[in-house]
Structure 1
């Protein structure tokens, strides 16, 4: 019979033919045996139906892959037609697709109970000081979390009893229903995807396999952490239901604002006001660092406000690495506001000796103004 022929033979193409070749051959054959061109010819009508069926399969990459491996058995009974248990033990097209692509797509292969989902991951926000971020620290945190039930050891069933295979899904954890041309697969409503039901639940966890507890955990915060750094505590999240593995706990770090330093990566920034005499004559200032050392910053004579001086290696440590960043000091020249009579007298004497060359920027500015508007 025409319907029993191989799809590739029906379309007169090789099994290695590409999509374009298959489409071209189908159109040619369809025009030749279309019922409108062959009125009353039963053979032409049968061939037209057969090549249409073949093309409908081979034009779809997923259907073609299943056909290449299993032939028409991929679409019989458990495939696109009806119940479970196809002629060769297949469980429908979705199972066949998982057989072919499961290891790449995370499928479950040839079927069976749905894998139990691990517990949920948790988030904990922790605020630390910049000094603690610099040096690192050991901290203890307290979290309320679902942990494995000690009474039933996570099984969910009363001690001495056990869960039974779900009668609705047969232990697969999934049920299927026909919706038009497609089979729709969803979690079993009776066992919620577990594949098992507990008729005699544990009195402490009520069948969940987990209970709420307050837990204290020790956390090591490494030196050099920054705002938003995430620390993962494996297996310290929510316990999974009915013995499933736990999730993880993620600690997100937040750095408190510092009264002296600002941070950009491993670089620390600070502003240092200096007297106008130090700015004019030069000198040194002492700045305490986060490393608990006093850093001497040399001030060159004639320094201006806004000038930055870099102290190598006095910044934040490199996270999980070696070395430190830099400490950058921005100079702010402060004009005195409370002068004694003697200081005013000395400044007046200094002003009388000024020639304009002492402050070339200001003298140059006023000279340009004079050039623009005249004397």
Structure 2
């Protein structure tokens, strides 16, 4: 059994770069133009060693159990058939037989579009129509790039192979390399009569409307992927994807917090004291809420199921109605009398109202005086 590390002349803790450099050095030494004939088996062995030690998984298996582990373990080295030395020289020197012509078809680019939505859209879900500047497959040539009734013809420069052979001289001798055919660009065929409608590209630039299904529960920044709705590819290639970016608009009276909504309900002082049934705006229309007697500012009345639909879950959040009790700022003489009478009945008439302006109150405060006295 051969020791792969010894074959390459490296230590067992050699790095990947050290292994690569050692292999290149040994391969040059064993090249037929340098070492002459009779070293094919040795070259094969060195190549096998490099194939194993340059692969992290294979190297780990080899370190654990040698060549036996590689033969028996999953993903191990498959026995090492290196009868095709031309393929090995191609991998090492970058030459040899090419892989054939390349395809004209290329996948289109992905696109991105902003989708403005209202609070109602994200609460219930909606279908939005947006305009997108993009590429679509040419309706005349259907992506073939050729004028109707024509088709690509085989390139005579490479006989349809897409690549041609070049001989390069080096210190190792003449090396055969493959390069893309300069006549057809590596495609193996030529388009003699390109489609006029798309200038031989197989696609056209258009502005089109796209329907986007907005699910309930999305929020600003959510990305929705529309597979195959991006730019059409060149030469009949597949279309890219379109990403819709959600931009939620602010509601005039409702504020969102996750799946829940919050709104302010201003309650007159008398209604807060006596209790009342008041109307509040919701996404489901006006709803009546009951304000209990003695309600205070900051009280939260919770309306279940009137919030935003939950993303990828059933149900909706809640609507929180937060009360703000309003104290009257302007009173008629009669209203003042009634409030004073009420204060007396409640034993709260110890506060004497003093009619004075802002400057008077500031002056009195500076003198230690008080604008309001408590008995």
Measured in 2, the distance between the counterparts of 1:169 and 1:121 equals 35
Which residue of 78, 84, 102 maps to 2:90?
A: 78
SS at match of 2:301: strand
Return closer, same or farther for 1:305/1:69 CA change in 2, 3 Å cut-off.
farther
Report how far residue 332 of structure 1 moved. Answer: 1.1
What is residue 347 of structure 1 aligned with on the other side? 339
RMSD: 4.6
Closer, same or farther: CA 191–113 of 1 in aligned 2, 3 Å: same
- Taking structure 1 as reference, are residues 10 and 285 closer, same or farther at Cα in structure 2, changes over 3 Å only? closer
Q: Deviations over 1:48-97 (max 9, x none)?
A: x99x9687665432797879644594874212135213xxxxx6xxxxxx
8 A Cα contact 1:268 1:316, kept in partner: yes
Secondary structure of the structure 1 residue equivalent to 2:280? strand
Greater RCO, CA 8 A, separation 6+: 2
Structure 1 residues 10 and 61: CA distance shift in structure 2, 3 A: closer
Q: TM-score, normalised by structure 1?
A: 0.63
Instruction: Decide which of 3, 22, 35 is 1:8's aligned counterpart.
Output: 3
From 152, 167, 172, the counterpart of 1:163: 152
Alpha-carbon offset, residue 281 of structure 1: 2.9
Deviation at 1:180, TM superposition (A): 12
Change (3 A) 1:8 1:220: same
Q: How does 1:71-150 map to 2 (within 5 A)?
A: 71=82, 73=85, 76-85=88-97, 113=102, 116-150=105-139
CA contact (8 A) 2:101 2:186 kept: no
In structure 2, C-alpha distance between the alignment counterparts of 1:176 and 1:320, rounded to whole Å:
59
Cα distance in 1 for residues equivalent to 2:243 and 2:196: 31
- Aligned residue number for residue 278 of structure 1: 271
Give, in whole Å, the separation in 2 of the partners of 1:187 and 1:299: 81
Per the TM alignment, residue 344 of structure 1 is displaced from its structure 2 partner at its CA by 0.9
Deviation at 1:155, TM superposition (A): 0.7
Q: 1:22 to 1:316 in 2, by over 3 A?
A: closer
Contact 1:114-1:174 at 8 Å conserved across structures: no
TM-superposition CA deviations, 1:15-66 (whole Å, max 9, x none)? xxx955999xx9xxxxxxxxxxxxxxxxxxxxxx99x968766543279787
Compute the displacement of 1:269 (Å).
0.8
Return 5+ residue gaps in structure 1 as ranges: 1-5, 13-17, 27-48, 86-90, 92-109, 357-375
d(CA) in 1 for partners of 2:182 and 2:311? 49
The alpha carbon displacement at 1:140 in A equals 3.3
State the alpha-carbon separation in 1 of the partners of residues 167 and 298 from structure 2.
Answer: 74
Q: What is aligned with 1:327?
A: 319
Structure 2 counterparts to residues 31-70 of structure 1, below 5 A: 59-61=53-55, 69-70=80-81
For residues 215-267 of structure 1, the C-alpha deviation after alignment (integer angstroms, 9 at most, x for no partner) is: 23344444444333444443332111011111233332322211110112221
- Which consecutive residues of structure 2, in runs of 5 or more, have no partner in the other structure? 20-41, 60-75, 349-375
Counterparts of 2:274 and 2:95, CA distance in 1: 95
**In the alignment, what sits opposite 2:243?**
250
